[in-house]
Amino acid sequence: MGSIPRANGTDHSALGGEGAGQHETEGTIVTLWRAWYITPVVLLLLSSPALCSWQVQESGVTASLQDVCFADSLHGWAVGDSSTIIATSDGGRTWTRQAVPVDSVSFRKVLFLTPQVGFAGGSGRFQLPGRLGYHVIVLRTVDGGSHWEECDLGFGGEFYFADMDFLDTSRGWVATSNAGHPDWADRTGVLLRTEDGGDAWTVMQEKPGEPVGAVAFWNDQLGYSLWPLGFDNFGPTDVYRTTDGGEQWDLRATITCCTLSSLALVSPDTMVAYAPWIESFDAGLNWAIRWEHWDQAEPTRAERVSDIAPLDPSTWWVLVVFSSTYTCSIFRTTDGGTTYTEVLPERSPRLHAMAALGVDRLWAVGKSGAIVAYKEGPTQVDECEDQMPERFSLHQNFPNPFNSATTIRFSVQATEWLTLAVYDIAGREVTVLMSQRLKPGSYSCTWNGKDSKNRPVSSGIYVCELRSSIHTARREMVLMR
């Protein structure tokens, strides 16, 4: 496992923003960027002890999966080509395909705000004289995906889906453009906003001649958008910011090195734009290159950042694709990007997107229905030397009340998959202590009073739940700081 330092000394002015106009660095970047296309690879994961925390999950589909999200540690969704939406309610142990009301759609993004309410976006194909046309598709569900319905965006035309972001179950944004229009002068990017969960949409930003690449909001007022100006990934990208919910947009910078189509906000001022890795730490005014410094001995190896999964201003995951070896790796930082640790070594298949619930829990999806899951075991499950239990049971934690940590004992009488989780008094999941297959016996584990992101929780009443496929048991625990 290696660590990678932050790129220092990069000429910010070569990337745009204040003082933009230096082109020497730009020429180098464009040369490196032209060959990011990746060919298929065979699944080679989990053949090394170094990958003991990774598991391959069976998706049940062969279509390439383009995005994944989890509402909590159990409920997740993945979307992809061939109108594919699959879901899990057991942390990925099993995945089931969900029916959708549209055909010939390539889904590119899925977002769930709760285990019930979610949105999926992509581009649908239709036949035009002599060629295929495309139109933007946004689906909505309010029952976890048992039923999906298409949102009426309120405009027609041959537009592609570009990006989507939702703050809650009501307020969201969709970026779309007719980037493939044969007449460049007629290409237009459009940002749409809904404030009622997708029933009605309003055009908030429209730019003739500039397709929109990405949109990301930090809160209901602060948001950013990317507008690529180039052709076939080789032109500059405009960065816009709004501080009034999208009523007005101000140009922050023009990144001259390359076309950028994805954006992740780590904090109100820190963001990463990619595929090539470009960072800003001052609200989009100045941008620094990181991607060419992944491997000092072979700096052209890191051709593309495929996804960023931020958790907080100091912690995020990065999925990097290497074109020279047709592989990808996953890195993680816990110090705000100063150093990166390789968590998934470079022997994986081509992966496209990630969903992270903490520094120790991650899912990634990719080509040919590939799903891999990462779980560090911060909670040790110990087997007790009791007699063989006669029934499924969850014992009262001890001590109770507790201040910093408490021990939870439970017993199972048959080999089965068990999940031990902690919820607050309102029923919201705090953390999953254990989710694995156990043999008959008695066990104990310790909860340290922290949530899934390793943050201490406040004093109060919490519920410990032990669940199998046929049994559920709960106990109340009292935390007193």
Each domain of the chain, given as residue ranges in start order, spans 3-375, 382-479
Q: What is the C-alpha separation between 28 and 292, in angstroms, rounded?
A: 10
CB 213 within 8 A of CB 227: yes
The whole-number pLDDT of residue 177 equals 84
382-479: which CATH number, 2.60.120.10, 2.60.40.2550, 1.10.1060.10, 3.40.50.450? 2.60.40.2550
The whole-number pLDDT of residue 181 equals 54
Amino acid at site 330 = I
The whole-number pLDDT of residue 5 equals 36
Q: What is the C-alpha separation between 217 and 297, in angstroms, rounded?
A: 37
Q: What is the C-alpha separation between 322 and 331, in angstroms, rounded?
A: 13
The whole-number pLDDT of residue 110 equals 97
CB 437 within 8 A of CB 415: yes
The whole-number pLDDT of residue 39 equals 30
Sign of CA dihedral 351, 367, 323, 41: positive
pLDDT in tens, the chain (481 residues): 333 333 433 333 334 444 333 333 222 222 222 222 223 333 334 333 333 478 888 999 999 999 999 988 889 999 999 999 999 988 888 999 999 999 889 999 999 998 899 999 999 887 667 767 778 999 999 999 999 999 998 866 678 899 999 999 999 999 998 765 555 556 688 899 999 999 999 999 888 777 888 999 999 899 999 998 765 556 789 999 999 999 999 999 998 877 788 999 988 998 888 877 788 999 999 998 775 444 434 444 456 788 999 887 788 898 988 766 778 889 888 888 788 888 887 766 689 999 988 777 899 999 899 999 987 754 556 566 555 666 889 999 999 999 888 999 998 887 777 889 999 998 999 988 887 777 788 888 889 999 887 889 999 999 999 998 888 999 999 998 8
115: nearest Cα among 75, 171, 172, 156: 75
Q: Please count the other Cβ atoms lying within 10 Å of the Cβ belonging to residue 379.
A: 16
The whole-number pLDDT of residue 212 equals 87
Q: Please count the other Cβ atoms lying within 10 Å of the Cβ belonging to residue 129.
A: 5
The whole-number pLDDT of residue 434 equals 82
- Tell the residue number behind the tokens 């404030």, with chain if given: 195
CB 293 within 8 A of CB 4: yes
CATH topology of domain 3-375: Methylamine Dehydrogenase; Chain H (2.130.10)
The C-alpha angle 111, 116, 122, rounded to 5 degrees, equals: 30
Beta-bridge partners for 122: 107, 137
Tokens of 289: 């290159």
Beta-bridge partners for 121: 109, 138
